[in-house]
């Protein structure tokens, strides 16, 4: 069944004076999707988010939500809520009142509509007041009976929103008495209490320390799944985007460079900008000789999954973790280690190959000035068109399929390297 987008951006352009900050972008966003707009400062991601939220208006183009053009609709009238980078919490209110603010501040009529309409609210208000002994003998609730009922419903909604963000019991806390991570959750609770279809998040984790930020990444993703809300997340942090997103949209200079799943973007970047922005990459010039064969660094390498013109110049991308260190006699290329840095899980090597420096990740303690042999598997070589235009991928055969790396693969590779470098296993009597 074809998915229908909940948000459609058609030819969106935004100028500030003579400066074009969003340049003719088209984007469909789907229901219950966690999508991230990713890019450096000034790439247009936050401006795009603000146009979706109604805080900015496009110079041209259409913003469509649920099939209706909403270009001129003010922010408060859109089925969208926003969690701001600075949270925008009220320091003079406690947690309860901050979360309830968006509901209560819209007035009695809005609350009556929100809780089912006038007829339902009048009926439920009468039953509620009779239950607590305030409307005995009445056939119609008074103004104050309805107000009492709405107050109870708001308290119920606040409690549910706080439960969803794991802050039950914090209702009476002052904002200046809770941590940064808890403030962020209060901001999210305030946004979701109105049950929006779409939630915009403008770099909400940027003010948190690293450990808390990592924890909140997983919590946000789990929260999005539980709520069933479309999350549109803006960040410049590649790790955040990779961990949380169903789809990443990479932007530069107001233009979408590439969009896709985190795995697709990491494994198959379209151009040098994307390859360098997502993770680390070694990029060299190469020539696509024929099907399943590419030449770079003076050597021919087997490659799978691409359909280029024979003899076409290409950019070759190899991730640092995809290089294999092997005995020199079986290596494709030979390089000299110019730097070796221990990164905790692995060593990061800088290797000079024919005057070009490459980054290589390895589990072995290899020191500077060592000469090593390198090769790379066919399914770990990525090819891109020189001009950065979209490339054509071809389905892989079962034999060509890219491997899923397991602990057994890592262990086997580690053991082979130990044999090569003469690091014998310790005997039992040592």
Is there a contact between 393 and 376 (Cβ–Cβ < 8 Å)?
A: no
Rg of the chain over all Cα atoms, to the nearest angstrom: 28
Is there a contact between 51 and 98 (Cβ–Cβ < 8 Å)?
A: no
333-342 vs 371-376, strand pairing mode: antiparallel
Backbone angles phi and psi of 251, in degrees to 5: -120, 150
Q: Return the residue matching tokens 């030819």.
A: 11
Quickly list H helices, 82-209.
Answer: 95-104, 108-114, 118-131, 143-164, 180-192
pLDDT of 266 strictly over 60: yes
Backbone angles phi and psi of 190, in degrees to 5: -60, -35
Q: Within a domain: residue 409?
A: yes
Q: Within a domain: residue 178?
A: no
Task: Annotate 143-162 with DSSP letters as a single string.
Answer: HHHHHHHHHHHHHHHHHHHH
Is there a contact between 320 and 361 (Cβ–Cβ < 8 Å)?
A: yes
Distance CA 16, CA 35 (A): 26
Is there a contact between 119 and 154 (Cβ–Cβ < 8 Å)?
A: no
Q: Within a domain: residue 287?
A: yes
Does an H or E element contain 272, and which?
helix 272-277
Backbone angles phi and psi of 278, in degrees to 5: -100, 105
Q: Is 150 exposed, middle or buried (0-12, 13-18, 19+ CB in 10 A)?
A: buried
Distance CA 292, CA 306 (A): 7
Q: 397 pLDDT band (50/70/90 cuts)?
A: low
DSSP state of 94: B
First to last CA, the chain: 63
Torsion sign over Cα 46, 52, 54, 56? positive
Window from 20-34, 330-344, 384-398 with minimum mean pLDDT? 384-398
**What are the residues facing 377 on neighbouring strands?**
none
247-252 vs 255-260, strand pairing mode: antiparallel
Number of C-beta neighbours around residue 270 at 10 A: 19
Q: Within a domain: residue 48?
A: no
Distance CA 188, CA 199 (A): 9
| Entry field: residues in the chain | 430
Domain total of the chain? 1
Q: 412 pLDDT band (50/70/90 cuts)?
A: very low
Percent of the chain predicted with pLDDT > 90? 59
- The pLDDT value given to residue 223: 82
Number of C-beta neighbours around residue 266 at 10 A: 19
Q: 43 pLDDT band (50/70/90 cuts)?
A: very high
- The pLDDT value given to residue 1: 56
Percent of the chain predicted with pLDDT > 70? 90
Q: Locate 237 and state its tokens.
A: 């942090």
Edge to edge, what strands does the sheet with 282-290 contain? 299-302, 293-296, 282-290, 312-318, 382-385
DSSP state of 174: B
Q: Within a domain: residue 290?
A: yes
pLDDT of 169 strictly over 60: yes
80-83 vs 198-202, strand pairing mode: parallel
Quickly list H helices, 257-297.
Answer: 262-267, 272-277
- The pLDDT value given to residue 135: 65
pLDDT of 127 strictly over 70: yes
Q: Return the residue matching tokens 């229908």.
A: 4
Q: Is 374 exposed, middle or buried (0-12, 13-18, 19+ CB in 10 A)?
A: buried
Query: What 3-state class would DSSP assign to 375?
Result: strand
Torsion sign over Cα 291, 295, 299, 302? negative
Q: 429 pLDDT band (50/70/90 cuts)?
A: very low
Distance CA 111, CA 118 (A): 10
Q: Within a domain: residue 190?
A: no
Let me know how many helices (H) and strands (E) the chain has, helices first.
Answer: 11, 20
Q: What CATH number does the domain containing 340 carry?
A: 2.40.50.140
pLDDT tens-digit series, residues 345-382: 899 999 999 889 999 999 999 999 999 999 999 999 99
- The pLDDT value given to residue 401: 54
pLDDT tens-digit series, residues 136-160: 667 788 889 899 999 999 999 999 9
* Mean pLDDT, rounded, of the chain: 86
Q: Within a domain: residue 395?
A: yes
Q: Locate 171 and state its tokens.
A: 């209702």
DSSP state of 190: H
pLDDT tens-digit series, residues 100-113: 998 898 889 999 99
Q: 126 pLDDT band (50/70/90 cuts)?
A: confident
pLDDT of 426 strictly over 80: no
Q: Within a domain: residue 234?
A: no
Residue 407 structural domain: 281-421
């Amino acid at each position: 069944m074809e998915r229908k987008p909940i948000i459609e951006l058609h030819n969106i352009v935004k100028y500030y004076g003579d400066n074009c900050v969003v340049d003719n972008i088209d984007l469909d966003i789907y229901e219950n999707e966690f999508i991230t707009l990713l890019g450096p400062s000034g790439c247009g991601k936050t401006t795009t988010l603000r146009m979706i939220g109604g805080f900015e208006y496009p110079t041209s183009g259409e913003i469509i939500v649920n099939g209706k053009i909403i270009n001129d609709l003010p922010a408060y009238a859109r089925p969208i809520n926003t969690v701001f980078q600075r949270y925008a919490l009220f320091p003079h209110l406690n947690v309860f009142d901050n979360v309830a603010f968006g509901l209560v501040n819209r007035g009695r009529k809005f609350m009556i509509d929100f809780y089912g309409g006038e007829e339902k609210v009048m009926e439920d208000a009468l039953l509620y007041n009779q239950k607590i002994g305030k409307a005995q003998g009445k056939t119609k609730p008074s103004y104050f009976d309805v107000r009492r009922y709405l107050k109870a419903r708001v308290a119920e909604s606040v409690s549910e929103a706080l439960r969803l963000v794991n802050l039950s019991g914090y209702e009476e806390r002052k904002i200046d008495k809770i941590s940064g991570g808890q403030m962020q959750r209060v901001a999210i609770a305030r946004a979701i209490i109105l049950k929006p279809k779409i939630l915009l998040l403008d770099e909400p984790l940027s003010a948190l320390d690293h450990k808390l930020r990592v924890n909140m990444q997983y919590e946000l993703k789990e929260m999005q799944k539980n709520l069933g809300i479309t999350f549109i997340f803006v960040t410049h942090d590649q790790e955040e985007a990779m961990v949380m997103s169903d789809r990443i949209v990479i932007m530069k200079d107001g233009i979408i460079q590439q969009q896709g799943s985190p795995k697709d973007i990491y494994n198959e970047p379209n151009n040098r900008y994307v390859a360098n922005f997502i993770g680390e990459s070694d990029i060299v010039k190469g020539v696509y000789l024929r099907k399943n064969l590419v030449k770079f660094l003076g050597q021919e390498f087997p490659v799978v999954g691409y359909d280029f013109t024979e003899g076409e110049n290409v950019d070759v991308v190899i991730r640092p973790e995809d290089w294999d260190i092997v005995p020199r006699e079986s290596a494709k290329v030979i390089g000299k280690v110019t730097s070796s840095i221990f990164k905790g899980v692995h060593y990061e090597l800088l290797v000079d190959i024919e005057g070009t420096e490459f980054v290589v990740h390895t589990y072995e303690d290899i020191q500077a000035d060592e000469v090593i042999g390198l090769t790379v598997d066919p399914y770990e070589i990525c090819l891109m068109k020189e001009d950065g235009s979209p490339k054509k991928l071809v389905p892989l055969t079962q034999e060509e399929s890219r491997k899923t790396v397991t602990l057994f693969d890592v262990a086997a590779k580690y053991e082979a390297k130990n044999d090569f470098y003469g690091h014998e296993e310790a005997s039992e009597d040592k």
